[in-house]
Amino acid sequence: MAGIVIVGAGHAAGQAAASLRQAKYAGEIILIGDESHIPYQRPPLSKQYLSGEHGMERVYLRPEKFYADRDITVKVDTRVESIDTSAKNVTTDQGETIEYENLLIATGSRPRILHIDGSDLPGIYYFRTVADVDAIRAQMSAGKKLVIVGGGYIGLEVASVSVTSGLEVHVLEMEERILQRVTTPEMSRYYHDLHSSRGVHIHTSKMVSGFTGNGQVSGVLCGDETIAADLVIVGIGIIPNTEIAEAAGIDCDNGILVNDHCETSVAGVYAAGDCTNHPNPLLDRRLRLESVPNAMEQARVVAANICGGDKSYSSYPWFWSDQYELKLQMVGFSADGDTQVVRGDMANNQFAVFYLKDGAMVAADAVNSPKEFMICKQLVGTKVDADILADPSVDLKSLLGR
C-alpha cells in the first residue's frame, strides 16, 4: 500500500512531497499530475517564461533529480479519474488502481471558459499551463494585434510583456475599471495610467459578445464594435477543480472544504491550494485563495499533520504581481480597510498604501518598496500610528514591537 498519494502536480503538491521527506516521512510518496511536466511554478508563466527570459529549467519548483534522490514517484501525463475513500484508493486514466494510507488533493484550478459566438476559433487562448504559454509564444511577434479579455493581474502581466515585445495590445475589461474586484479605485487608476503610458490600449465597461474570423480569429465583438485581433488571450478568472472530490463524497462549497489542519470531511484525506475553501482565524472568515504562498503554506501544514504534528494554518494572505520593471506586493485585503495612508510618491513608481480599520493595519500595497512590504507583513493586525506611516523620513521598524 502506498503511504501517501498526492493528486495534482502544482505548487501545493510539489511542496507537500518535499516537506514530507524533510519531516523524515519514510513511507511511499506518489505524486500524480495530468501535465507532461514535474511540478513547476505558475507565476513566471505570465512574466519571465512568456518573455523568453527564463527557460523551463528555471520554472520547475525543483529539478527532476530532487524527486529521484528522495524516492518520490512522480507520474506525469496521468489523470486520476476517481477516488474511493472507503477502499482508500485512486484509479487513473491509465487503468491503474493505487492504494493510499493518506491522500492529498491538490488539483488546483482551471480557467473560466467563454462560451459565446466564435469562441472556438483558432487563435483564442487561455492562460494556465506551460502548454498554453508555449502555444501563445509561438504566435507572438512584433506588430501583431493582441486582445486580452479581462483586466485582472494575469491579463495586465501578459500585457506588459507583450507590449514590451512590440505587439499592439488591447485590454478589454467588463467592469468600470481594471482590477475592480481586487483593489481600490486609486490603485486601479495607477495601473491604468501605467499601462496607457507604455502603449497598452485599455477599454473598460466592454462586454465581449463574440469573435469573428474565418478559420482564425480576426476580431473581438463588443456589441456593435469590432476590435481587430491576430490573437486573443482570455483571462476572466478561474474555477476550483473540485469535481473529483465531490464525486468521492467529500464536502465542497466554492472549493473543497477543509479545517484549519487542511483536513477534508473524510478522515485521512487532506486538500491544499487553489482548490480549497479554508478557515482563516486571523480574518475570522473562510477563504478560497488563488495564491502561491497559500498553496505552499497549506502543503507544509498537511505534511506536518500527516507526520503526527498538530499544525494549524493561520496566515495573512499575501500576493505579488510583476508588471514592467515594477513589483507590486500585497498583504491582506484592501477592501477590509476604511482609511488609506500613502507613503512615498505614486508618480515616482515607488510607494506603499496602507489600509487601516479602527486604527489597525489590515492590508498594504507596496510598489517597488520591498522593505515597507516586509515590515507591513509583521504589522498587519496591529494598531499603528497613521502619521508615522505617512512620513517617509521615519523608519517603519520603529513601529515593530510597540
The CA distances from residue 127 to 157, 178, 218, in Å, are 11, 18, 19
**3 state SS of 402:** coil
Mean pLDDT for the stretch of residues 328-346: 96
For residues 13 and 299, is the Cβ–Cβ distance under 8 A? yes
pLDDT, tens only, 70-79: 999 999 999 9
Helix orientation angle between 292-306 and 11-22, rounded to the nearest 10 degrees: 40
**pLDDT attached to residue 400:** 84
Sole residue written with cell 482590477 = 179
Say how many CA atoms lie within 13 Å of 50 toward its Cβ: 30
* Eight-state DSSP code of residue 189: H
**pLDDT attached to residue 138:** 95
What are the grid coordinates assigned to 58, written together? 528555471
307 pLDDT more than 90: yes
**pLDDT attached to residue 293:** 96
Say how many CA atoms lie within 13 Å of 338 toward its Cβ: 4
Domain with CATH 3.50.50.60 in the chain: 2-110+238-306, 113-234
Q: What is the pTM of this model?
A: 0.95
pLDDT, tens only, 206-264: 999 999 999 999 999 999 999 999 999 999 999 999 999 999 999 999 999 999 999 99
Sole residue written with cell 486582445 = 147
**pLDDT attached to residue 228:** 98
Mean pLDDT for the stretch of residues 154-170: 97
Distance of alpha carbon 273 from alpha carbon 344, whole angstroms: 34
pLDDT, tens only, 18-48: 999 999 999 999 999 999 999 999 999 999 9
For residues 323 and 191, is the Cβ–Cβ distance under 8 A? yes
pLDDT, tens only, 106-117: 999 999 999 999
51 pLDDT more than 60: yes
Query: Could you tell me the fold of the domain covering 2-110+238-306?
Result: FAD/NAD(P)-binding domain (3.50.50)
Distance of alpha carbon 133 from alpha carbon 347, whole angstroms: 33
Domain with CATH 3.30.390.30 in the chain: 325-399
Query: Could you tell me the fold of the domain covering 113-234?
Result: FAD/NAD(P)-binding domain (3.50.50)
pLDDT, tens only, 379-398: 999 999 999 999 999 888 88
402 pLDDT more than 90: no
Distance of alpha carbon 254 from alpha carbon 329, whole angstroms: 26
Distance of alpha carbon 115 from alpha carbon 135, whole angstroms: 21
Distance of alpha carbon 177 from alpha carbon 175, whole angstroms: 5
**3 state SS of 276:** strand
- The DSSP string of 166-181 is T-EEEEEESSSSTTTT
325-399 under CATH 3.30.470.20, yes or no: no
For residues 314 and 281, is the Cβ–Cβ distance under 8 A? yes
